[in-house]
Amino acid sequence: MTVERAWDVLSHVPDPEIPVISVTELGIVRDVRVCNDAIEVVVTPTYSGCPATEVIARSIEQALHEAGAPVVRIEQRLSPAWTTDWITVEAKQKLNAYGIAPPHAAQLESLPPRFPVEPAERPIVFTPRAIACPRCASLDTERLSQFGATACKALYRCRACREPFEYFKPL
């Protein structure tokens, strides 16, 4: 199997939590090497505690085996740490169409918290920019919780169309 073919196979391996995007679009496949008979895939975890990490490794192995690679080795690489900035533009559009607001640029999120916070109206100090509703595109949205069904997403609500939605947090 060639490196190009292996990348092509991986581009069809879906993320187990968000099946509309692939592991390559998510940016967690950092390198693919061919070493004699073996395909070596370097992956990086999203969050340290992401339960999908092990499922993803197994899906990658299985997909490459089914495509004819006899030996598959998965190597974990931690540095540089995964960032949502590695999610491709196309994948961000797919996220939006799927109902998940895609992440803003991660670099802006590394700012320290601002104190004192303005009372009552703004107990939440995080995510200063407006997040557009993936359904109606309104910017009149509010955060319900910083953690959603998975660590990588926050829960939001659109005040315009009244629908709840998830926001993929910049990391």
Binding of another protein at residue 163 (CB under 8 A)? no
Contact pick of 146, 157, 161, 164 for another protein (by CB under 8 A): 146
Contact pick of 19, 35, 37, 79 for another protein (by CB under 8 A): 79
Return the half-sphere exposure (C-beta side, CA atoms, 13 A cut-off) of residue 97: 9
Considering only residues 7-36, where is the footprint of another protein by CB under 8 A? none
Contact pick of 38, 47, 59, 74 for another protein (by CB under 8 A): 47
Binding of another protein at residue 134 (CB under 8 A)? no
Binding of another protein at residue 112 (CB under 8 A)? yes
User: How far is residue 126 from each of residues 56, 111, 143, 171, measured CA to CA in Å?
Assistant: 30, 10, 9, 13
Binding of another protein at residue 74 (CB under 8 A)? no
Region binding another protein by CB under 8 A among candidate stretches 16-24, 62-70, 73-81, 89-97: 73-81
Query: What angle (nearest 5°) sits at the alpha carbon of residue 36, between those of residues 42 and 8?
Result: 50
Residues 102 and 96: their CA atoms lie apart, in Å, by 6
Token output for 68: 């004819």
Residues 99 and 133: their CA atoms lie apart, in Å, by 8
Contact pick of 117, 137, 139, 160 for another protein (by CB under 8 A): 117
Q: Helix crossing, 52-66 with 3-10: angle to 10°?
A: 130
Region binding another protein by CB under 8 A among candidate stretches 1-9, 14-22, 108-116, 133-141: 108-116
Q: Specify burial of residue 82 (Cβ count, 10 A radius: 0-12, 13-18, 19+).
A: buried
Chain residues in the site for another protein (CB under 8 A): 45, 47-51, 77-83, 106, 109-110, 112-113, 115-117, 119, 123-126, 144-151, 155, 169, 171
